[in-house]
Structure 1
């Protein structure tokens, strides 16, 4: 008898269901149904499971064991508050992105009343409050804690991950409020040293225990095993597994994963990113080994105007050609699918490659020659990804593209931009079956099987 395991992704548009046969280490089926997050999320789940049952012999026990991730209702929306933008605020942002969050706002230094009102209007799921190294500056984090404690509407959950010396005073500020306040270790306990894992863990715990309830997903807990993490976090878990491997199953090594969607383009790198240029010094915060960035202005459907503008600058289009190009973009906007027309296909390929290129340009590190009175020095900021040998493409605009290799070429190092440290000679793969989220979820219980499964279905191009 087969060991069938089901994995669910509650998306804002579609609810996806994947069934694996763990005995055969094979994909049995992947289906999707329209999400019903605005009414009763269980309705979309039931439809997806019904569709799954048409091809897979799914039993009640299989459904009860199903595990899910979610990006429904806008995903996990977070605001990060810190002391200095380049340090504690950035450290908080890295922690939140690594936990699968969508950053809807960042604030630094002492918040103003206008910023307090702006934060309340954002109504994030979680506010991450950082600031000061342990034993360092307390004034700013205490001021910002006071501003947060005054917000009885708009801020329900606060994670405090700043100067531990301020904790008792922060507890006193939040005493008597209706806010749920969680304390964890400082995200930057010493200058230049990050501690992201404790913050990630608290974010995930909050997501599972409280945020999913607020988004209506609690109604499906009677049907399935539960929601384990945000969808981007599941994809990051899959990327780490593919790179690092599992016991008895070697990985592919350091990699870059680009997920192009209709609203965002997400980039994941699992790489140390140490300098390869001789003598280069690293500036800024250390980069996390497993890093995620989200570009909310590079979705292929919701951000066509932005991508069209980037294309016009990159191609140096003259007025007549620009008008023709913009006309094609308008047709793509109304089509909202993979075009059949040759001209529209070419236009979509151009925009898709630009989405990949721009997102990876922002994600990758840079190197710059700095001239000082002591001589010339190379300074690197961010990760050096030039030696990364694997690039994985995901998302409809890549997977269903007429030429996915051309789209993913946007992730590759360019001689005319040598300061951007992108992969120089990678192999290209596709998540052609859309199962990365399921692999990331399975990896939590059986990483070796999860790795062997994804290796079967990653399509090299």
Structure 2
């Protein structure tokens, strides 16, 4: 059987294969196969083969092929990226936003000139990408030049992205001439006071992923199979979120996975909050909570809920249920436990993503209201994706709980926000498709979200 587009999504615990076909000018979803990701077996293509066989079984065919084969992956634990800027609250923050929005996991952030101890940390992390930022355009220059020299002399070979003061670009090229890793020069992520410019850096980060990051065992075989793009899965979800924003306006996407919980917001926020915001926030923001995975980090979530509380809900078998929880649960009690852990992952991750308001006090005794972080009060659509929300029971109820967790100072969505589930669990795959089939991708997203 041949379809127009096959998209593989190789996750930390589950591998999926989605098939799409354009029929009479409209894109249709044919089906999805899944299998456990096989990093432990030393070859992720084993899991992909199992997902393909599962898809064929569901479609009643012996083999399936696609005119175009695309993929996303987070099986290697994501992109390990380090960010080195000038001032923590300005250029470092902007560079970090670019990294997270593209699907990278930020392993180290430094401000100011790199020291010997910083380089030792860098070497122990062995990053996939190093980003150097710092200085407004035509502002401070020496910090990023110093950091480029130190990195050149460190013996590291990871690709370097320079996204700082544009006045330094030629000198950065000269300093890094002969550096063993590839060097990318992009526009400044923080060109002027209160201005973020993260999209150019995000695009390069995704390009670097395709060119350099194939660390999961067997991913080089996937690259040989794929005739289109490969994206970091979180970056693909962000692309889908930005596409939906163009049609729906301000929105929030929660992706609960086996290893992490990612929260994506594409929202301008309210005028009221923007007037008191202490520092600019990007339109499209991602936060990744590496301690909130429903499978890999299930004990963290259990501890956040409290074992005593879980025993009230599940009885004395609560700890045993958490211990024995499988990547793809199937029995009633473990399904209920997975849903309970997902509920906690949503609550904690959204709170971490959202900004807050607080009072600032002046020397003369006066006070004023200020806001910091991402304003979600203007969000009108809350979207859930990832297996824990799309496949387990109660996903919609879990998302509705977001509107009940606020404490007054948190900039969370209001009660009128609509809740949608990615019912076919295709958001990341459609985000990969959006690069070539934008209108079709939007059509498929709305269909899966039942909009």
TM-score normalized with structure 1 length:
0.86
Counterpart-to-counterpart distance in 1, 2:92 and 2:103:
17
Equivalent residue, structure 1, for 2:14: 14
Are 2:263 and 1:267 equivalent residues in the alignment?
yes
Gaps of 5+ in 2: none
Equivalent residue, structure 2, for 1:332: 322
Q: How does 1:346-385 map to 2 (within 5 A)?
A: 348-372=338-362, 373=364, 375-385=366-376
Offset of residue 148 of structure 1? 1.0
Are 2:302 and 1:308 equivalent residues in the alignment?
yes
Greater shift, 370-379 or 113-122, is seen at: 370-379
Equivalent residue, structure 2, for 1:282: 277
Write the deviation string for residues 115-170 of structure 1: whole angstroms up to 9, x where unpaired: 211111101110111111122222221222122112224x4211111122333433
Write the deviation string for residues 411-459 of structure 1: whole angstroms up to 9, x where unpaired: 22545x1111111122211112211112112222222222222222225
User: Is contact 1:308–1:326 with CA below 8 Å preserved after alignment?
Assistant: no
Counterpart-to-counterpart distance in 1, 2:329 and 2:401:
19
User: Is contact 1:386–1:413 with CA below 8 Å preserved after alignment?
Assistant: no
Counterpart-to-counterpart distance in 2, 1:288 and 1:305:
33
Write the deviation string for residues 316-373 of structure 1: whole angstroms up to 9, x where unpaired: x69x97999896244222123547566x776655432221111111111211232333
Counterpart-to-counterpart distance in 1, 2:95 and 2:51:
36
TM-score normalized with structure 2 length:
0.88
Match of 2:248, SS? coil
User: Is contact 1:311–1:350 with CA below 8 Å preserved after alignment?
Assistant: no
Are 2:85 and 1:82 equivalent residues in the alignment?
yes
Q: CA 1:36/1:350 → structure 2, altered by over 3 Å: closer, same or farther?
A: closer
Counterpart-to-counterpart distance in 2, 1:14 and 1:397:
11
Q: How does 1:58-457 map to 2 (within 5 A)?
A: 62-153=65-156, 155-212=157-214, 216-244=218-246, 251-276=247-272, 280-284=275-279, 286-312=280-306, 328-336=318-326, 338=329, 348-372=338-362, 373=364, 375-412=366-403, 414=405, 417-425=407-415, 426-457=417-448
Offset of residue 310 of structure 1? 2.7
Match of 1:21, SS? strand
User: Is contact 1:387–1:424 with CA below 8 Å preserved after alignment?
Assistant: yes
Match of 2:341, SS? helix
Counterpart-to-counterpart distance in 2, 1:324 and 1:212:
41
User: Is contact 1:83–1:141 with CA below 8 Å preserved after alignment?
Assistant: yes
Offset of residue 92 of structure 1? 0.7
Match of 2:82, SS? strand
Counterpart-to-counterpart distance in 2, 1:339 and 1:27:
25
RMSD over equivalenced CA pairs, Å: 3.0
Count of residue pairs brought into register by the alignment:
444
Greater shift, 327-336 or 434-443, is seen at: 327-336
Counterpart-to-counterpart distance in 2, 1:335 and 1:48:
21
User: Is contact 2:12–2:259 with CA below 8 Å preserved after alignment?
Assistant: no
Match of 2:214, SS? helix
Q: CA 1:290/1:206 → structure 2, altered by over 3 Å: closer, same or farther?
A: same
Greater shift, 211-220 or 433-442, is seen at: 211-220
Gaps of 5+ in 1: 245-250
Match of 1:193, SS? coil
